[in-house]
Amino acid sequence: MKADIHPEYTLANVHCSCGNQFYTRSTKSDLHVELCSACHPFYTGKQKLVDTGGRVERFQRRAAKRAKANAGN
């Protein structure tokens, strides 16, 4: 490996939105994530809807508007 070209890895504290906290190594010291192995549906086996920035609500509003327009015809 070449000297002085690789980033320095430090101990990073990872905070999940579910409240879980764990440590790993990264180039950043603090990481904030939305999903982790404690709350991700694949690891928990529970079906959970993950809303990304209100996309689900926006889709439901558009679907309701379209259903209302089709009901009028």
pLDDT at 54: 72
Residues contacting 23, CB < 8 A, separation 6+ = 11, 12, 13, 14
3-class DSSP assignment, residue 14: strand
Determine, yes or no, domain membership for 4: no
For the chain, what is the domain count? Answer: 1
pLDDT at 56: 76
pTM of the model: 0.52
Determine, yes or no, domain membership for 2: no
pLDDT at 48: 63
- Using alpha carbons only, give the angle 33, 38, 41 rounded to the nearest 5 degrees: 90
Range of the domain at 21: 10-71
Q: What is the distance between the alpha carbons of residues 7 and 42, in angstroms, rounded to a whole number?
A: 32
Determine, yes or no, domain membership for 43: yes
- pLDDT, tens only, 22-59: 999 999 999 988 888 888 777 777 766 666 667 777 88
Determine, yes or no, domain membership for 3: no
Determine, yes or no, domain membership for 62: yes
Q: Where residue 39 sits, what CATH number does that domain have?
A: 4.10.80.400
Determine, yes or no, domain membership for 55: yes
